[in-house]
Chain A
C-alpha cells in the first residue's frame, strides 16, 4: 500500500510480527494482566522514538512518577530525552465542601530530572485529573513540543478514575482526539484473567497483547498481535522475556 508509514516499536521481534511496525499516527491498545510488562514495552516504544530523533511523551496515570523512574532505571533503560506527564490525581478530600481543583496545568517534566520522592498532596486543596483536563493539557503539549509518540499508562486508570459516567463516549472521543493529533499512541489496558472484547479494543486500530500464565508453578510470558487494521500481522503467539538493559525481548529462532 502507498502512503503508509511504519513506526518501529523498538522490539525487533514485535516489528516482525507487525510486518514492519505500527502504522503511524494511530492509537493502539497494549493489553495484559498486572505484571506482564506493559509499562516496559511502552518505554521501549518511546525510547525507539528518541533514537529516531522524535519527541516522545509518557503519561503516568497509575503510579507516582518517581516510582516509574525508579522501575525503569532498575531495568537499566536509558531515560535521557524522555518527557513525562504526571497525571495522577491528589488524595481526595472528604470535607463537607472540599476544595477541589481540576488540573489543567500539570507540567511535562524530564523523566531524568524527576525527584526520587513522591509529590505530596497539599493540605489545603486537592487537584484531580479528569479526561477533559488531560485532553486540554495534551493539546497544548502537542502544539508546544510536536510529540510523535505517546504512551498512556494506563487507559484503565483513565477510564476508572477520570471518566465519571459515560465512559464509552469519553473513550471514543479521547481516541479520536489522539488520531487527530497525528501521534502514534500506545494505550495500556489492565486485563483480568478472563478477558473479552471491550469498547476500547473495538475502537482502537490495533491490539498488542501481553500475557502471563502460570504453568506447572512457573510464570510464562507471551506476546501476540490480536488485530491491526490495514495490515497483515503474525497470528502466532510468541514467548517473551523481560531482560535487564533490554526490556521485553521476543524469543523465537526465526526472529
Chain B
C-alpha cells in the first residue's frame, strides 16, 4: 500500500516511507516539544497535493497558531480549521484562518460584556461528541458540494476534550467511538496528546495505530529535542530516538544521529 508523507523527510524515513493512510495516530510529547508544528507540517504536505485537510483547534486559538506557523515560514491559509477554542461555534466554511481570526475577535468583543459567565458556558460546550458532530457535518457538506473527502485531520489536542468531557468509563467509550469515527472517515489523523503518566494507559494511546513521541530535555544552556516511534502497526520503523531541530525552517529530523 502507498504511504502518506508526514511532510518531514527525516520522519518519513523513520517510518520507512510514511504513514499507512486511513488510520488514527497519536503524537505525544511535553509542552514545547513541537507537537503542533509537526501537525502543521503534516497538513501543509496535504495542501501541496491539493488534498482537503482540516485542523481541529482545541488548545490554542487559531490566530495564534497562524502567527506561530507564519514565524516558521508556513503558508497555512488553505488549511480549514474547526475552531473549538474557546467555543465550538466558529467554524468557517471554506475560509481561511484569517477569516476565523476576525470571527474570533468578534466573539471576544461580545464576550467582554460578561466574561465570567461565557467562560463557564464555553467549558460546557466543548465535548468529544460536539466535535465529532461538527466534523461529520463538515465532511458531509464537502462531499455533497464538491464530491471530495478529507484526507488529513489533526486534533490539537485531545487533552482539552478529556478535561471538559465526561470522566471515567464513559470517557473511554467516547474516545473509542471517536477513533472509530476517524477511521470510518478514512482520513489519516493525528491526535495530539500528552505523554501518558507511567501508571496510566489512556484509550487514545492504546487504540491509536501508531505513536510518535517527541522528547524535550532542558539542558543548562539550551533545550534538546528528539523524536521516537513508540509503535507503528503494520510497518517496520526506525527503532532509535533521533535528534529533532526546531528552527525557522520548521522541524528537521537527523536520521543519521542519535538523540
Q: Which of B137-175 contact A (CB under 8 A)?
A: 169, 172-174
Which residues of chain B are within 8 angstroms of A216 by Cβ–Cβ distance? Answer: 258
Closest to B178 in A: A91
Q: Which of A137-175 contact B (CB under 8 A)?
A: 154, 156-157, 160-161, 164-165
Determine if B74 is an interface residue (Cβ-Cβ < 8 Å): no
Which residues of chain B are within 8 angstroms of A88 by Cβ–Cβ distance? Answer: 180
Q: With A92-B173, A161-B172 in contact, is A34–B22 under 8 Å at CB?
A: no
Number of chain A interface residues as a range: 35 or more
Determine if A117 is an interface residue (Cβ-Cβ < 8 Å): yes
Q: Which of A158-195 contact B (CB under 8 A)?
A: 160-161, 164-165, 190-195
Q: Is the CB of B20 within 8 A of A121?
A: no
Q: Is the CB of A194 within 8 A of B199?
A: yes
Q: Is the CB of B22 within 8 A of A193?
A: no
Determine if B2 is an interface residue (Cβ-Cβ < 8 Å): no
Closest to B127 in A: A94
Determine if B129 is an interface residue (Cβ-Cβ < 8 Å): yes
Determine if A64 is an interface residue (Cβ-Cβ < 8 Å): yes
Q: Which of A67-105 contact B (CB under 8 A)?
A: 67, 70-71, 74, 88-92, 94
Residues of A within 8 A of B (CB): 33-35, 39, 62-64, 67, 70-71, 74, 88-92, 94, 117-118, 120-121, 154, 156-157, 160-161, 164-165, 190-195, 214, 216-219, 244
Known: A88-B180, A92-B174. 8 other contacts (CB 8 A): A74-B234, A94-B133, A120-B184, A121-B180, A154-B206, A160-B176, A165-B169, A192-B201
| 10 A-B pairs (CB sep. < 8 Å) | A34-B231, A35-B211, A35-B232, A39-B233, A92-B173, A120-B184, A121-B180, A192-B201, A217-B240, A217-B241
